[in-house]
Amino acid sequence: MKCPFCNSSDSKVIDKRETEGEESTRRRRECLSCSKRFTTYERIELTNLIVIKKEGVRQQFDRQKILRGLIKACEKREVSLDQLKEVVDSIESDLRTLGTSEISSTSIGEKVMEKLKKVDEVSYIRFASVYREFTDLTSFEKELKKLLGKKKKKEGISNV
């Protein structure tokens, strides 16, 4: 590691710690030439995920885009930003475990809806109405009936 002060490549590590969340390793170094100290960080370099849009256009995965969509869907709902960041983390983690660097925007959208449904059902319906491009009240009603039907099955309620 080159010293930022004298450009010498001789240094020693005097302290090593994991950062919060263990996302990187912080190393405190001392230059063996000029004796000045500096800090370096070691992070895992993840491969870039590529999103294939419906039109076939490819673009780099942007977790902020997902977060913005979630924030909009959860507007005026009791869902914290931390909860939404956890959802985005979970989605990105799931996508990375697929073992491919190219993912369709459709599968990402479905994953977002799956996770959001568990956090807040009203926000889920809001997101689904935009994502699935509800064009009329019937589309909205069908999605709501599916949601209510699954909820009733889960609770063990039947329409007898």
Full DSSP string of 26-81: EEEEEETTT--EEEEEEE--PPPPEEE-TTS-EEE--HHHHHHHHHHHTTTSS--H
The verdict on 140 and 113 lying in the same domain is: yes
pLDDT averaged over every residue in the chain: 88
In a domain, 125, yes or no: yes
Residue 160 pLDDT class (50, 70, 90 cuts): very low
| Range 138-144, long-range pairs (CB < 8 A, 24+ positions) | none
Residue 44 is which amino acid? I
Is residue 1 assigned to a domain? no
Read off the pLDDT of residues 102-118 as tens digits, 9 standing for 90 and up: 999 999 999 999 999 99
In a domain, 121, yes or no: yes
Range of the domain at 131: 50-152
Same domain membership, residue 108 and residue 67: yes
Q: Are 83 and 126 part of one and the same domain?
A: yes
How many separate domains does the chain show? 2
Q: Are residues 55 and 37 in the same domain?
A: no
Average pLDDT over residues 92-101: 88
- Whole-model pTM over 0.85: no
For 113-143, what is each residue's pLDDT tens digit? 999 999 998 998 888 888 877 777 877 788 7
